[in-house]
Amino acid sequence: MWPSSPIHPLQLIQNTAARLVFSLPHLSDATPLLPSLHWLPVVARIQFKTLVLAYRCLNLSSTLPETAIPSYAAGLKDKAALVSALYRVIQEPQSEFLEPVCHQLFEFYRSGEVSLQRFTLQFLPEFIWSYLSICTNRDLHSTGCREALLLGIYNLEIIDKDGQSKVLSFTVPSLSKPSVYHEPSTIGSLALTEGALAKHGLSRVVYSGPHPQREIFTAQNRFEVLTFLLLCYNSALSYMASASLQSLCHLSTGVSICGYPRQLLRKYKGVSSRMPVSSEFLVQLITSLYYALYNGEWDMASKALDDVLYRAQLELYPEALLVGNAVKSSLPGGALKSNKEGTRCIQVEVTATSSRISRNAVTSLSIRGHRWKRNDSSENSIDIPDSGALSVPEISVTGVLGERVGNGETQRSRGEGEAQGGQDSGADSRDAVDLTSPEELMEVSEMDEGFCSRAASNASPPVIIITSSSGKTPGKSQRKSGSSRAGKEREANVESCRDHLSRKQAQRAMSENLELLSLKRLTLTTSHSLPKPDSVSLARTATAVFSKSFEQVSNVFGANNPASTGNTTSTEANRYSACSLQEEKLAYVSERTELLGPSSRHKQRSPSIGIQLSTDL
Amino acid sequence: MTAKKSGSRLETEIERCRSEGQWDRIPDLIRQLSVKLIANDDLAELLLGEAKLQQYLKENPIKQGASPRGAKPKLMEVRKHLTAALDRGNLKSEYMQEASLIMAKLNYVEGSYREALSNYFKVGLDDLQLVGIPVYRLSMIAEAYATKGLCLEKVPVASPVSNRHTGREQEIITCYEKSGDIALLYLQEVEKALSSGIQNRSPKPGPISHEQELGFFLETGLQRAHVIYFKNGNLTRGVGRFREILRAVETRTTQNLRMTIARQLAEILLRGMCEQSYWNPLQDPPHQSPLDDPLRQASNIEDYALSRRPKVYAGENIFCPQENTEEALLLLLISESMANRDAVLSRIPEHNNDRIISLQSASIVYDLLTIALGRRGQYEMLSECLERAMKFAFEEFHLWYQFALSLMAAGKSARAVKVLKECIRLKPDDPTIPLLAVKLCIGTLHWLEEGERFAKMVIDMGEKASEFRPKGYLAIGLVYSLKATDASLRGVQEEYQRKALGAFQRAQSLSPMDHLAAFYLALQHAVSRQIPEAVGYVRQALQLQGDDVHSLHLLALLLSAQKHYHDALNIIEMALSEYPEHFILLFTKVKLESVCKGPDEALLTCKHMLQIWKSCYNLTNPSDSGRGSSLLDRAMADRRQINNMTLPDFSDPETASSSSSSISGSEPSLHFFISSHHSPHSKSDPTPKPSSRHFCDHAPGRRASSPCNPPDAYFHGFFSLFSVCSVHATSVAASRVEQALSEVASSLQSSAPKQGPLHPWMTLAQIWLHAAEVYTGIGKPAEATACIQEAANLFPTSHNVLFMRGQVAELRGNTDEAKRWYEEALSISPTHVKTMQRLGLILHRLGRSSLSEKILRDAVQVNPTSHDVWNSLGEVLQTQGHDDAATECFLTALELEASSPILPFTIIPRAL
């Protein structure tokens, strides 16, 4: 810590002084004189002074009045000598100061004063490291204070103010709900997947907790506790001084490479046996390292990140690998040198806003845009119902599965195709676009247009055909809502379109359901080890299940009903937001359930549904 | 009249062109205009000047950061036009202002910043109206502010007083912010005009798709303010500015800008902020924040007023993020949807660059999404997001790999393996990927053939795999070891065991520091009943990793195989002090205790286990819900604790999946039936009584028979727990397939699929079965039946339950019933050796010795190390008169018994 060069002259002076006291010759050895004078050598003296200072600082707080605490806390942070002295105490395996220091730090944490808590928290990485290294050396006797402090903080953090177990949760934002930054209608088609349906509203997800109170560390709960502590540390990252971030990098490196060949490579001294880790712990470490990278500790943090990734690879932890790879690949190519002040490297540049993708490239958007454009210009045709098309209007529902991508190397599964939903419109029509002229695409849309308008004139229910190999995708339903938006006929036409849409939607949802069910049924029956019930009863159950699940769907959307009606009344000059449209569709689903129920039961026997299992991975 | 009409029409046309930036059409229109109205000369000059300047800028765009060049002949022309218009002074005042603004811009382009500034001063930029003016003027004003900011940045400050300096900086930023706001307003107005234009105008196939581009000035105005903030280290204001831009309602032109800014803001939220320093977009920023550079004291930046502001997203209950991860996620999702839309799909070489650009912008977003969701542990959602990235992923290793990892983390093992295969194809010399695949294959999937193939890949890499080579051997050893357990033919079994042993030895010699290698070597020796070798290796493993639970467990089992039961129990106790909630250890403890301490202790341990079970899983929050898209995956998704608790007999996939269906629906009501003090046995009791006592009434006979039995107290306590933990029969109703089906279906379809992990229930059933076994051991059939009933409520079709029922029936002396139970158990699990052995004995007792012999011989084939079976076989053979063969069997049994552990070694889970 203290380089010898500036201290050495001081030591010479002290030696001279000692000789002076004893009036000894200039060249005599002064070292034995110092103890007899009760003088500490300079190095020891410095250390002693700082430690005394630390002790006083820490113990002063207990005598402070309540009101003075915040200012005291604010001042505490800036006492660099104190902080570095504390680090030294923690690093030493057995320091006599450790116990009072731990005690005082815990008192700080318990005080509830936020800045005092942060003061304690900044030593957390150092504590974890020293605790873990002592643990690995199986020197269990000297972990006492550290262990107590870590557990103390943990037990304070797992409960909230009322003493209830704290459950940390967050809301998963969803694009289907308007937010301060967007409106669902402008985002474009959202894939109507099972996941999207399940998460139609915003849902809160628990990411940590509730945690049980812990009295001792055991090998079983050690990393659970430490992971939670790191989570707490991460939530206060911005307040941590750079020394704390450095010790965090140190911790990451140490935990990751000790006992592995890389330790020799790094010439990293310290513990020589391997430390067990957990995947979640590594993920939390990476999270902190990510912050450290961009806040002044570029070099250390990137090295530590490499080490953590190395360990994650060796342990085959997918979670840590996932996050670590993402961090690594998002780093800018050249090393961001921390600027002179050694602070932050968050930088932004003025960027060109125009699209860097040339116009004639085929993108997901361009395909959709193509259809939109066609729509806009063909709006006249809506005025005149196309009497020529006499065929029964068809509603084709995408076979949600089996969309093998043309370049066959990807084995897409059913689920994938489903989740892709709207965006997939690009993917599977890619071939079409490349090979065929755009007119064909337009023809497709034209046909639908025709149907739209005619649905208004003849109110006969359309025949519903489920095909499993259609190239159409739900992306079109969005386009259709556009057409309804642009359409000139107000109520009738829009109504019919919506009607049409809703039916389509219902059908689609149903086909999904059917598919899921068939899947489910098959799983269950194949896996069931009991003698199988005869096929009749099975079919019965399946249909029962089906209707039940369908009710569920309708219930979910039924909840949205009032909102959607509210939306329709506010007619904002022929602008139906896709959101409201969607909600109406969904509301329609519930109404259609009865109507479609029987037909679906009928459909269930059709082969297009039964085959799904084969595509599942 | 016509002239006038057409004149006004021309004017609107010109206005439209100006607002939409169609400068090339202006000269044409002006010609028409000047033909009609001579008085419009000056206006024509103005317009011409403007159009030429804009054309010039379009042809010679100013680069960001580069300073504009000096005078050019074209610009001279512009100047001529403008001075002509200005000098004559015949124009209306607003046109004069316009002319001055254009002049100022020209000055900037020519590099004379001071003149530009003086122009602005003369016009009185801040006094210009924003309300009720044509759209194009908005853009003009926005550009003017931006230009002013640029000029101010270029012109050096007159006096070097620092106070003055910050004032200047303040002024610059305000210019840019105003410029940005007005630009946004302008863009919104243009879009509005465009869309209404489409509606009102007759079906004129005009070039509507004409895409507007922001010029240099508007771009600068929109972005320069936050760039300056970040340069000065003022994160708070920078973030605030970002949010202002993002909150404005988007237009087609701003989409790219929004995508970039959303991503940048997300980056800042993830890289520079934490939960405690966050403030939400609708809140006022904190006064003091650790985010701001303390060295540069931010001057108090006052807000400026504009008479019109861009429209922002508003509404009754719009979502407003409350946490930095939430906001980052929302922004990333928005950014992702735009990046996805720009995905270049065509593969022709001309579009290669475009594709790379779109891929890059998307993969940045996906990486950030991974970081944001990863720190919250939402791998399920992450895998769905990354699935959307797959349209970019052709031949892109990084995306494939991330997708595979996310599937793996989300517990969708089967798909993960498939995706990993593609990753291996893309990057054949990375040993980690096949190892990950092996991990999955020998884990939940139990695809041993595939696993073997992956493991061989690692080994085939040879030296290239460096540190992963021993892992490769370990992996293949595990595959062989598992195959050996599965194999039904003795020869095959031995072959695999030999191979496994070889692989483990290789792994151990390659990496002597790895405790896993030593441990599995020990385990393999143990399985082949080479006890002394196994002890040696397990000690080695323990030296490397002192508190490894499996090594300790193995050591205990080995000691029990050497019949040092007390030592084994001590080891178990020691292990339990480190792993108090480890159920497999506890099961072994029950066994050991019933051998060396008697049933009372064992029952106490059972009770303790139930308590632990309750405290463990009572806490588990049900909202830790799976959100997988595929049912199969979900049924197999049992990821976290599969390593530390595989149950010996529930682990076969058939039972597991069937029971998953029966149990999945009931998980959310965990709290319900734990709290409901309603044991199924109370049905037999006509008068409902407090359940903690009803067992005392239930078994009066027992009490009478042993009135002063001290362990009775334990039984009381045990049964009180019994009723607490018992599963309400009606709430599960798992025995009915139909119901199970519907439950799974509804749990899938409902918005909150509370699909809990399966193994808590398997553990519970296992605890009950252990208790039942202890009761059978001490000859208490009634209690044993009660325990079995509890287990049966959970897993009615488990062969273990049926086997235990058979045991109880045997205890009661009901041989026929026992036989029936055993047969049922065998029909579910035809290779359950214990059942085979019991059934063989019963058949033998019933006098059907040849069938009995057949069954016992089968059992010996399945598991040649079970001494009980050999012993029974010996008995059967003896009665049949094959004395030699019988002797051999007895000898084998004797030999095996000498090395048989208290529980089979294979209950220790084998996983990478």
Does the pLDDT of residue A569 top 60, yes or no?
Answer: no
Predicted local distance difference test score (pLDDT) of residue A137: 77
Please state, in angstroms and rounded to a whole number, the distance separating the CA atoms of residues B464 and B474: 17
Per the prediction, chain B carries an average pLDDT of 78
- Among B376, B442, B639, B644, most A C-beta atoms within 10 A, so best to mutate, is B376
Q: Closest-CA residue in chain A for B468?
A: A314
Cβ distance of A413 and B418 shorter than 8 Å = yes
Sorting pLDDT into bands at 50, 70 and 90, what band is A280?
very high
CB-nearest to B326 from A114, A171, A193 is: A171
Q: How confident is the model over B322-348, as pLDDT tens digits? A: 888 999 999 999 998 888 887 877 778
Predicted local distance difference test score (pLDDT) of residue A449: 39
Cβ distance of B737 and A516 shorter than 8 Å = no
State phi, psi for A396 to the nearest 5 degrees.
-105, 130
Query: In 3D, which of B392, B389, B459 has the Cα closest to residue B431?
Result: B459
Sorting pLDDT into bands at 50, 70 and 90, what band is B164?
low
CB-nearest to B272 from A346, A411, A420 is: A346
| Higher pLDDT, residue B97 or B407 | B407
Please state, in angstroms and rounded to a whole number, the distance separating the CA atoms of residues A99 and A89: 10
% pLDDT > 90, chain B: 29
CA of B42 vs chain A CAs: smallest distance (Å): 34
Cβ distance of A319 and B374 shorter than 8 Å = yes
The angle that helices A491-527 and A578-603 make with each other, rounded to 10 degrees, is: 50
Sorting pLDDT into bands at 50, 70 and 90, what band is B421?
very high
Q: Tell me the chain A residues in contact with residue B621 when contact means C-beta distances shorter than 8 Å.
A: 167, 206, 209-210
Query: Which of the residue ranges A186-190, A469-473, A550-554, B574-578 has the most confident prediction, judged by mean pLDDT?
Result: B574-578
Sorting pLDDT into bands at 50, 70 and 90, what band is B658?
very low
Cβ distance of B345 and A357 shorter than 8 Å = no
- Among A185, A295, A316, A434, most B C-beta atoms within 10 A, so best to mutate, is A316
Q: How confident is the model over B882-911, as pLDDT tens digits? A: 899 999 999 999 999 888 899 889 889 888
Does the pLDDT of residue B672 top 80, yes or no?
Answer: no
Say whether B522 sits in a helix, a strand or coil: helix
Q: How confident is the model over A307-337, as pLDDT tens digits? A: 999 999 999 999 999 999 999 998 876 555 4
3-class SS shares of chain A: helix, strand, coil, % to 5: 65, 5, 30
pTM over 0.80: no
- Among B198, B274, B280, most A C-beta atoms within 10 A, so best to mutate, is B274
* Least confident segment among A318-332, B28-42, B134-148, B312-326: B28-42
Q: Which amino acid is at B313?
A: Y
The encoded tokens of residue B696 equal 């005392």
Predicted local distance difference test score (pLDDT) of residue A58: 67
Please state, in angstroms and rounded to a whole number, the distance separating the CA atoms of residues A286 and A278: 13
Q: Tell me the chain A residues in contact with residue B744 when contact means C-beta distances shorter than 8 Å.
A: 520, 524
Q: Tell me the chain A residues in contact with residue B433 when contact means C-beta distances shorter than 8 Å.
A: none
Exposed, middle or buried by CB within 10 Å (0-12, 13-18, 19+), for A94?
Answer: exposed
Sorting pLDDT into bands at 50, 70 and 90, what band is A236?
very high
Please state, in angstroms and rounded to a whole number, the distance separating the CA atoms of residues B103 and B108: 9
Please state, in angstroms and rounded to a whole number, the distance separating the CA atoms of residues B28 and B908: 87
| Higher pLDDT, residue B516 or B26 | B516
Exposed, middle or buried by CB within 10 Å (0-12, 13-18, 19+), for A443?
Answer: exposed
Judge whether B213 and B253 are in contact, CB under 8 Å: yes
DSSP state letter for A363 = B
Sorting pLDDT into bands at 50, 70 and 90, what band is A282?
very high
CA of B693 vs chain A CAs: smallest distance (Å): 30
| CA B336 remoteness from chain centre | 17
Q: Which amino acid is at A348?
A: V
Does the pLDDT of residue B296 top 80, yes or no?
Answer: no
DSSP state letter for A148 = H
Cβ-Cβ pairs closer than 8 A, A with B, add up to 453
State phi, psi for A464 to the nearest 5 degrees.
-105, 125
Predicted local distance difference test score (pLDDT) of residue A141: 66
DSSP state letter for A433 = H
Cβ distance of A206 and B205 shorter than 8 Å = no
Query: In 3D, which of B130, B132, B149, B150 has the Cα closest to residue B140?
Result: B130
Say whether A173 sits in a helix, a strand or coil: coil
* Least confident segment among A333-347, B576-590, B765-779: A333-347
Predicted local distance difference test score (pLDDT) of residue A334: 53
Q: How confident is the model over B762-797, as pLDDT tens digits? A: 888 889 999 999 999 888 889 899 999 988 888 888
Mean pLDDT of B98-119: 87
Sorting pLDDT into bands at 50, 70 and 90, what band is A399?
very low
Query: In 3D, which of B831, B803, B824, B838 has the Cα closest to residue B487?
Result: B831
Q: CB count, 10 Å around CB of B644?
A: 17
Q: For the complex shown, is ipTM > 0.85? A: no
Does the pLDDT of residue A604 top 60, yes or no?
Answer: no
Cβ distance of A517 and B375 shorter than 8 Å = no
- DSSP per-residue string spanning B90-131: -S-HHHHHHHHHHHHHHHHHHT-HHHHHHHHHHHTGGG---T
Cβ distance of B346 and A361 shorter than 8 Å = yes
| Higher pLDDT, residue B157 or B84 | B84
Mean pLDDT of A34-56: 82
Sorting pLDDT into bands at 50, 70 and 90, what band is B912?
confident
Q: Tell me the chain B residues in contact with residue A358 when contact means C-beta distances shorter than 8 Å.
A: 351, 353-354
Predicted local distance difference test score (pLDDT) of residue B613: 86
Please state, in angstroms and rounded to a whole number, the distance separating the CA atoms of residues B811 and A168: 52
CA of A537 vs chain B CAs: smallest distance (Å): 9
CA of B700 vs chain A CAs: smallest distance (Å): 37
% pLDDT > 70, chain B: 78
Q: How confident is the model over B454-469, as pLDDT tens digits? A: 999 999 988 887 889 9
Strand A168-172 and strand A203-208: pairing? Answer: antiparallel
Sorting pLDDT into bands at 50, 70 and 90, what band is A600?
very low
Cβ distance of B381 and A172 shorter than 8 Å = yes
Mean pLDDT of A126-133: 91
Predicted local distance difference test score (pLDDT) of residue A482: 41
State phi, psi for A465 to the nearest 5 degrees.
-120, 130
Does the pLDDT of residue B568 top 80, yes or no?
Answer: yes
Predicted local distance difference test score (pLDDT) of residue B98: 86
Q: Closest-CA residue in chain A for B344?
A: A363
CA of A392 vs chain B CAs: smallest distance (Å): 30
Say whether A496 sits in a helix, a strand or coil: helix
Please state, in angstroms and rounded to a whole number, the distance separating the CA atoms of residues B868 and B866: 5
CA of A467 vs chain B CAs: smallest distance (Å): 22
% pLDDT > 70, chain A: 48
- Among B624, B751, B755, B829, most A C-beta atoms within 10 A, so best to mutate, is B751
CB-nearest to A283 from B340, B375, B624 is: B375
Q: B229-238 burial string, b = 16+ CB within 10 Å, else e?
A: bbebbbbbbb
Predicted local distance difference test score (pLDDT) of residue A346: 62
Cβ distance of A524 and B658 shorter than 8 Å = yes
List, in order, residues 6 or more apart from B587 with CB less than 8 Å away: B766, B770, B903, B907
CB-nearest to A548 from B257, B548, B746 is: B746
Q: Closest-CA residue in chain A for B355?
A: A357
Query: In 3D, which of A366, A367, A388, A381 has the Cα closest to residue A441?
Result: A367
- Among A529, A535, A549, A551, most B C-beta atoms within 10 A, so best to mutate, is A529
Judge whether B146 and B220 are in contact, CB under 8 Å: yes
Sorting pLDDT into bands at 50, 70 and 90, what band is B300?
low
List, in order, residues 6 or more apart from A448 with CB less than 8 Å away: A476, A480
Please state, in angstroms and rounded to a whole number, the distance separating the CA atoms of residues A25 and A20: 8
Query: Which of the residue ranges A151-160, A382-391, B23-32, B667-676 has the most confident prediction, judged by mean pLDDT?
Result: A151-160
DSSP state letter for A143 = G
Exposed, middle or buried by CB within 10 Å (0-12, 13-18, 19+), for A386?
Answer: middle
| Higher pLDDT, residue B65 or A613 | B65
CA of B47 vs chain A CAs: smallest distance (Å): 26
Q: CB count, 10 Å around CB of B672?
A: 11
- Among A77, A78, A175, A179, most B C-beta atoms within 10 A, so best to mutate, is A179
Q: Which amino acid is at B191?
A: E
* Least confident segment among A84-98, B395-409, B489-503: A84-98
CA of A25 vs chain B CAs: smallest distance (Å): 53
Please state, in angstroms and rounded to a whole number, the distance separating the CA atoms of residues A419 and A195: 8
The encoded tokens of residue A435 equal 């090979």
DSSP state letter for B905 = G
Does the pLDDT of residue B626 top 70, yes or no?
Answer: no
Predicted local distance difference test score (pLDDT) of residue B865: 85
Q: Closest-CA residue in chain A for B417?
A: A617
Q: Which amino acid is at B292?
A: D
CB-nearest to A198 from B264, B741, B753 is: B753
* Least confident segment among A469-478, B28-37, B416-425: A469-478
CB-nearest to B375 from A287, A362, A367 is: A287
Does the pLDDT of residue B647 top 90, yes or no?
Answer: no
* Least confident segment among A576-590, B650-664, B824-838: B650-664
Evaluate the omega torsion of the peptide bond into residue A393 and state whether it is cis, within 30 degrees of 0.
no
| Higher pLDDT, residue A517 or A239 | A239
The encoded tokens of residue A492 equal 């009738």
Q: How confident is the model over B171-197, as pLDDT tens digits? A: 888 889 889 999 899 888 888 887 776
CA of B224 vs chain A CAs: smallest distance (Å): 6
Q: Tell me the chain A residues in contact with residue B414 when contact means C-beta distances shorter than 8 Å.
A: 617
Sorting pLDDT into bands at 50, 70 and 90, what band is B590?
very high
CA of A7 vs chain B CAs: smallest distance (Å): 31
CB-nearest to B256 from A203, A354, A519 is: A354
Cβ distance of B246 and A220 shorter than 8 Å = no
Judge whether B527 and B497 are in contact, CB under 8 Å: yes
Residue A259 falls in which region: left (phi positive, over 0), alpha (psi -120 to 50) or beta: left
Sorting pLDDT into bands at 50, 70 and 90, what band is B8?
confident
Mean pLDDT of B545-561: 92
Does the pLDDT of residue A551 top 50, yes or no?
Answer: no
Cβ distance of B624 and A206 shorter than 8 Å = yes
Q: CB count, 10 Å around CB of B779?
A: 10
Sorting pLDDT into bands at 50, 70 and 90, what band is B496?
very high
Please state, in angstroms and rounded to a whole number, the distance separating the CA atoms of residues B636 and B649: 17
* Least confident segment among A252-261, A326-335, B232-241, B739-748: B739-748
Judge whether B617 and B760 are in contact, CB under 8 Å: yes
Strand A463-466 and strand A394-397: pairing? Answer: parallel
Mean pLDDT of B234-246: 88
Cβ distance of A414 and B291 shorter than 8 Å = no
Query: In 3D, which of B821, B766, B757, B798 has the Cα closest to residue B658?
Result: B798
Q: What residues does A397 pair with on adjacent strands?
A: A466
Per the prediction, chain A carries an average pLDDT of 65
